[in-house]
Amino acid sequence: MPTECLVCRHCGATYPLRQHYSCAQCGGILEVRRTFATGDREVVLRGGRHFRRGLWKYFEMLPVADPANVVSLGEGDTPLLRDERLPDHWRRDISLLIKAESLNPTGSFKDRPTSVGLSVARELGQDTVVVSSSGNAAASTAAYAARAGMRCVVVVPESVDPGKLAQAHAHGARVLGVRGSFSNCFALARELSGRFGWTNLVSTFLNPYTVEADKTIAYELREQMDGGVPDCIFVPIGSGPLLAGVFKGYREMLALGLTRALPRMIGVQAEACEPITRAFLRGEPVRAWDGPMRTMAGGIADPLVGYEQDGDLTIRVVRESGGVMLSLSETEVAEATRLLETKVGLYSEPTGAVAVGAVKKLCDAGGMAEGETAVCLMTGHGFKYGKRDVPEMRIVETLDQACEALA
């Protein structure tokens, strides 16, 4: 049995695997630490003993002890699509691979952290979960809570995407709307969790268990690339757990002798809310974003008010990997979404497309060499995004009219 504990990323204090959200000594971010066990290599290579498919194939690498506590809707095992049309369009000699995380059960990668976080909550005997969310985490948590028979409270900003709100309602969650940004929701959910002891499944670094789930993307990439490692992995960044989790997966595989190299991690924000890119470029600690944040990439519009240290952690991981942070303008976000939809055939919410837009931007800046391989995490499905311009439909009654309309 491998020994697992929580360790403070700042001061190194350790805690048992219970419901903890920050270091009691220094307030630092907690991380799951587990010592490698014989058999880990095999689990990452081919899957473990308990589950045959999806994320839980890697059960032994995740912080749940009893397989009976797993709450699953079939997350993970998402396709990795090789695309040649976009590099052609950009006239760039690179290999582009797109990991379609939008094909998870509720339409975003959030199903991975939700599945693991909720399973841990069940193992700890919890009956209620709370989550603050710009939308995807709310939809995901509501669905998994329904599956687990647990109560779910979601706290969303007024500006939440109606599609994601409808999903949360459909699964029977209690929904609270809050004026202001995601950070206001974050603060209220944290207070609710503290007052009632509910498990907080927010997708920042607060819950130390959910980040572990994102490691499985790295394990899947290894398998899908026949053991190869991409040169760069492009990741949309709210606060950064997705990026940190994927890199942790690669670090583990390096330690287990399953890969020889580490990818450069490229974090992507929208210029309209880019506290992490700004700090990265200036070489300063992250400061909360206090400007307006009008962006169609709502899934990553996180001003980090009150948890700025999450951004510093993300920058540390990006630098350690030799990667960079960059941001896209609204025009670039819209263009990336359009390209993904018209040239790749993937229906995407704008947030889900920023990684693809960033490939072009990094190439233009000389950040990728000829012949290198880029993996993009396409994180959210287009079905959820309500703010689209749909042209008026032309009604035709005869073949002649149809021909005329198509001419």
Ligand X SMILES: *Cc1c(COP(=O)(O)O)cnc(C)c1O
Using CB under 6 A, list all residues that contact ligand X: 108, 110, 136, 203, 236-242, 299-300, 351-352, 379-380
Q: How far is the CB of 173 from ligand X (least distance, A)?
A: 16
User: Which one of ligand X, Zn ion, none interacts with residue 11, CB within 5 to 8 A by kind?
Assistant: Zn ion
The helix (H) or strand (E) run that includes residue 297 is none
Q: 10 or 41: whose CB is closer to Zn ion?
A: 10
Cα 68 to Cα 397: distance, rounded to the nearest angstrom: 58
Which CB, 26 or 369, lies closer to Zn ion? Answer: 26
Residue 133: both structure tokens together: 């969310």
Which of 2, 11, 255, 261 binds Zn ion (CB under 5 A)? It is 11
- Which residue's CB comes closest to ligand X? 380
Q: Least distance from C-beta 226 to ligand X, angstroms?
A: 27
Distance CA 181, CA 239 (A): 14
The C-alpha atoms of residue 71 and residue 152 are separated, in whole angstroms, by 14
- Give the residue, chosen from 4, 5, 7, 13, that forms a contact with Zn ion under the rule CB under 5 A: 13
Rounded-to-integer distance, Cα 58 and Cα 115, Å: 13
Q: Tell me: does residue 8 bind Zn ion (CB under 5 A).
A: yes
Minimum distance of Zn ion from residue 247's CB (angstroms): 21
Write each residue from 19 to 58 as x if it is in contact with Zn ion (CB under 5 A), else as -, in one continuous string: ----x-xx-x------------------------------
163 or 352, CB closer to ligand X? Answer: 352
Taking the complex as a whole, how short is the minimal distance between the CB of residue 49 and ligand X, in angstroms?
A: 29
- Which residue's CB is nearer to ligand X, number 51 or number 347? 347
Q: How many other CB atoms sit within 10 Å of the CB of residue 66?
A: 10
Residue 78 binding: pick among Zn ion, ligand X, none (C-beta 5-8 Å cut-off by kind): none
Residue 47 or residue 157: which is nearer to ligand X going by CB? 157
Write the Ramachandran bin of 273: left for phi over 0, alpha for psi from -120 to 50, otherwise beta: beta
For β-strands 373-378 and 95-100, DSSP reports them as: parallel
Indicate whether 331 belongs to the interface with Zn ion (CB under 5 A): no
| Beta strands 4-8; 30-34: pairing state | antiparallel
Contact 6, 208 (CB under 8 A): yes
User: CB of residue 12 vs Zn ion: minimum separation in angstroms?
Assistant: 7
Distance CA 147, CA 139 (A): 13
Interface with Zn ion, residue 305, by CB under 5 A: no
Q: The sheet that has 30-34: what strands, in order across it?
A: 14-15, 4-8, 30-34
**Is the separation of the CB atoms in 200 and 193 below 8 Å?**
yes
Question: Which does residue 28 bind out of Zn ion, ligand X, none, counting CB within 5 to 8 angstroms by kind?
Answer: Zn ion
- Interface residues with Zn ion (CB under 5 A) are 8, 10-11, 13, 23, 25-26, 28
